[in-house]
A and B are shown apart, each in its own frame.
Chain A
Amino acid sequence: MTQNAAFAVETVPALRRSQFRINGYFFFLAPGVLLVLALTLFPALYGIYISLTNLNLGYAGSSFVGPENYLRFFTWPDLSLVARNTAVFVGTVVILQVCFGLAIAILLNQKLIGQQLLRSITILPWVLPSVVVGLVFAQIFGGSRLGIANYLLSLVGIHQMSWFAEPALAMAILIAVSTWRGVPFAVIILLGGLQTLPRDVYEAAAIDGATAWQRFLFITLPMLRPIILISIIMATAGSLNSLDIPLALTGGGPGNATEIISISLYKQSFFQLDISYGATIGTMMLVANIILITLYITTLRTGRGAGND
């Protein structure tokens, strides 16, 4: 009833119409927004609540225990290992993704024959389900003798390696595969940015005799700064939160040599069934994500503000 009134025709008297304006958009907006709040913001808050209990899927019932899980987290024997793994993983992946992403974006920005086709190919990994990527690369590196990767290395005289048994190698593969999957996204963002750069600046520089390298260093980099920052933030968030590829590729192994924070969260919650501890790790990750999201939004705002000047 009220809904019908709210959507009533525009021919209603002026007074009613102004009321319609207040109510009208609300009915368009509310269902979607409520759904988003209910299943993104509420779970995040609920996760914080769970982290303050001793909920364990292995036992019935739970009670409020306050910050106990957080004390456990900070005295956790594996914390330093997991923190180091996460830092190495995220740091390397971000650097590789953004550097490759920028180089490839510049390559694809050249108006050369076949550029369109190469662009399609480059972006392809971005649409592939990441589990598929993880599993396929797990087979490619395979065991000691079985993987195609070992065969290719043996062609250049490098003897065979058991990739997933060696902690450093396993981490290197995890980083390489995550980069492979993540570079296209950086390329998309950076290429979009490159295409907005004004051509006449480059022409002026070229006329003044600037070399291609100088143009990159003194025009592209400074003008692209906000976009590069965005791609750094996105790559950081993407690798920090990534769980699909690590789970499918190494599962945190060998031992816990590639156990990054997201893997810990999964293992604690669904292997150890210590779901409140998992929620605690989740809350710590949420804090990191809030920082990243804030950075992202401020970068967008300042970037846009500078663009409008």
Chain B
Amino acid sequence: MTDLAVASRRRRSGRPLEPNRLAYIFYPVLAVAVLAPLGWALFGGFKSPGELFTYPPTIWPRTPTLQNFIDLFTRLQFGRYIWNTLVVAFWTIVCTLFFGGLAGYALSRWEFRYKDVLLVGLLALQLIPSTVNVVPYYMIMNQLGLLNTLTALVMIYTATHIPITVWVLKGFFDTVPRSLDEAAAIDGCSKWRTYWSIIVPVSLPGLSVAGFLVFVSAWSEFLVPLVVASNKDVAVASVGLFTFFGPDTGTAFTSLFAATLVTVIPVIVVYFFAQRFLVSGLTAFAEK
């Protein structure tokens, strides 16, 4: 009897569901498939334009140089594009968290008719792609006199990122005990004050998750700024990259790689810093 039980228990926790060690074969394949192109671009940023096209090609730069980066920030004025991107991302995060937070709080704390419809409706609106909307965006911003302004970008990004922020934040606010609200109400706090002085401080983790999501997305946005703000003064990094290095331009590829590196670093830093939150936030959104 006992022997049998032990045997079956051992079997249950034992072999058949052990992870398959053959899986290790695919580890390097996968890592190389992702990292090799990125590595080529990374090392390319430190090569001289001549070395990039030597044959056979070198992987590690033979004479590493920072000239590409110097070039990028002086002659090509890439710093301005990065600055524009930062400004737009910053204000987008602020506006999105402000409006999305309030809406998320309302959806978390109040019960009202058509609440589900509203939540699903927001999700559906978020899924209207910017490809479909670029032409109207161009016309709307033209009529508002906002073409080639960063304001136009902040407005559009904010609107398109509010839904995901609402979903993420509503989910987070739902986990904040209602007793906090009730205690605040007993102490005479209005809902408005409760939100700002009680809920927001305890929800900083949730707000950061939403902020990171918005940052990564706003930083990479390309089509909308290409159409709405392509002027040199207001171009963001992705547009700058494209107009410098797009199919019809002759700028050196080494500068492209340097610019790529500069553009990608903030996103990668945020990614490795907040990866778990980003992924779980996104998964939650995709499955709701």
Contact = CB atoms under 8 A, between A and B. Distances in A.
A118 B222 contact: no
Interface in A1-60: 7-11, 20-21, 24-25, 28-29, 31-33, 35-44, 46-47, 50, 55
Nearest to A265: B131
Interface in B93-135: 99-100, 102-103, 105-107, 109-110, 112, 118, 120, 122-135
Interface of A: 7-11, 20-21, 24-25, 28-29, 31-33, 35-44, 46-47, 50, 55, 104, 107, 110-112, 114, 118, 120-125, 127-132, 135-140, 145-146, 148, 151, 180, 188-189, 191-193, 199, 202-203, 206-207, 212, 227, 230, 234, 237, 241-244, 247-248, 250-251, 253, 262, 265-266, 269-270, 275, 278-279, 282-283, 285-286, 289, 292-293, 296-297, 300
A135 B136 contact: no
Contacts of A234: 286
Contacts of B136: 42-44, 46-47, 50, 279, 282
A24 to B, nearest CB: 5
B112 to A, nearest CB: 6
Contact of B247 (A50, A138, A206): A138
A46 B128 CA distance: 13
B160 to A, nearest CB: 6
Given A24-B191, A29-B118, 5 more contacts: A39-B158, A124-B34, A131-B220, A139-B256, A207-B12
B127 to A, nearest CB: 5
Contacts of A237: 127, 129
B211 interface: no
Given A203-B12, A244-B222, A124 B131 contact: no
Nearest to A104: B30
B133 A140 contact: no
Contacts of B99: 31-32, 35
Interface in B128-166: 128-140, 155-156, 158-160, 162-163, 166
Nearest to A133: B37
Interface string B269-287: 0111001001100110011
A200 B119 CA distance: 34
A86 B123 CA distance: 26
B283 A297 contact: no
A46 B140 CA distance: 9
A293 B40 CA distance: 38
A25 B112 contact: yes
Contacts of B156: 39
A275 B103 contact: no
A241 B192 CA distance: 40
Contacts of B86: none
Contact of B35 (A21, A121, A242): A121
Contact of A285 (B124, B131, B139, B155): B131
B139 A46 contact: yes
26 contacts: A25-B110, A28-B191, A35-B99, A36-B125, A39-B156, A43-B136, A55-B139, A107-B26, A110-B19, A112-B21, A118-B31, A121-B34, A124-B38, A124-B268, A132-B238, A135-B241, A135-B245, A180-B34, A199-B17, A202-B17, A227-B287, A248-B247, A269-B138, A279-B136, A283-B132, A296-B127
A191 B287 CA distance: 12
A214 to B, nearest CB: 11
Contacts of A121: 30-31, 34-35
